[in-house]
């Protein structure tokens, strides 16, 4: 991640304490923030992509408390494992139906934490995800969050090529939008994000 991950994690932990909790992690990717979650009691990474899970397992195996992490190959909606908290890690906006995902999460754990892009974020716009982000926060608001906080961070890239590589999977609209940064170096893009506890 091309931003200050420690700052993001400090904000997350100021909103919710994961220490000793059984955590169901949705959106873990290859485990970039796993080192920050080692105070949890158990961490289940739920993903339906075996390649991503394999890379996650490889990365967490290097951690001091590697034994608390477990990769679970499963569609989130078919998961029947229960825990203390479900964490949507910049992933709720990727769900086809965020409201349904929240309902499912509430059947798995008493707490649901959403850590995701905020509506109006320049970064979400460049990634061509602004509509998905609006939809996910509308679902969060409809679920009556116990806590909800907005924060600002920055995504930074040495060159336009670095930005292009990061956003390439986002498609043609994103490729068009980032052209405003063509030829630039030292690119800094504001990234608004939020944390909600349901």
pLDDT in tens, 20-63: 999 999 999 999 999 999 999 999 999 999 999 999 999 999 99
C-alpha distances in Å from residue 112, one per residue of 148, 153, 167, 190: 12, 23, 28, 26
The confidence band for 1, taking pLDDT boundaries of 50, 70 and 90, is very low
Q: Is 62 in contact with 71 (CB distance < 8 Å)?
A: no
Domain boundaries, the chain: 5-155+191-197
- pTM of the predicted model as reported, rounded to 2 decimal places: 0.94
Which pLDDT value is given to residue 4?
A: 85
Flag whether pLDDT at 2 surpasses 80. no
The confidence band for 3, taking pLDDT boundaries of 50, 70 and 90, is confident
Q: Alpha-carbon distance 121 to 8, whole Å?
A: 15
C-alpha distances in Å from residue 66, one per residue of 42, 43, 44, 80: 10, 10, 12, 23
Superfamily of domain covering 5-155+191-197:
Vaccinia Virus protein VP39 (3.40.50.150)
Q: Alpha-carbon distance 86 to 198, whole Å?
A: 10
Which residues is 194 bridged to in the sheet? Answer: 116, 150
């Amino acid at each position: 991640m091309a931003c200050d991950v420690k700052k993001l994690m400090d904000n997350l932990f100021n909103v919710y304490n994961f220490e000793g909790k059984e955590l169901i992690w949705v959106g873990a990717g290859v485990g970039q923030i796993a080192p920050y979650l080692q105070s949890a009691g158990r961490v289940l990474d739920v993903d339906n992509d075996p390649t991503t899970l394999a890379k996650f397992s490889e990365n967490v195996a290097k951690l001091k408390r590697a034994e608390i992490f477990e990769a679970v190959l499963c569609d989130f909606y078919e998961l029947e494992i229960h825990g203390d908290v479900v964490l949507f890690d910049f992933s709720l906006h990727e769900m086809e139906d965020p409201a349904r995902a929240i309902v499912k999460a509430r059947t798995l754990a008493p707490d649901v934490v959403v850590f995701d892009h905020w509506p109006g974020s320049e970064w979400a716009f460049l990634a061509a995800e602004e509509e998905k982000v609006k939809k996910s926060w509308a679902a969060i608001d409809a679920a009556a969050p116990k806590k909800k906080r907005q924060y600002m961070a920055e995504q930074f890239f040495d060159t336009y090529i670095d930005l292009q590589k990061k956003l390439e999977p986002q498609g043609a609209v994103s490729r068009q939008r980032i052209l405003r940064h063509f030829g630039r170096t030292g690119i800094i893009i504001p990234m608004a994000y939020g944390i909600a506890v349901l």
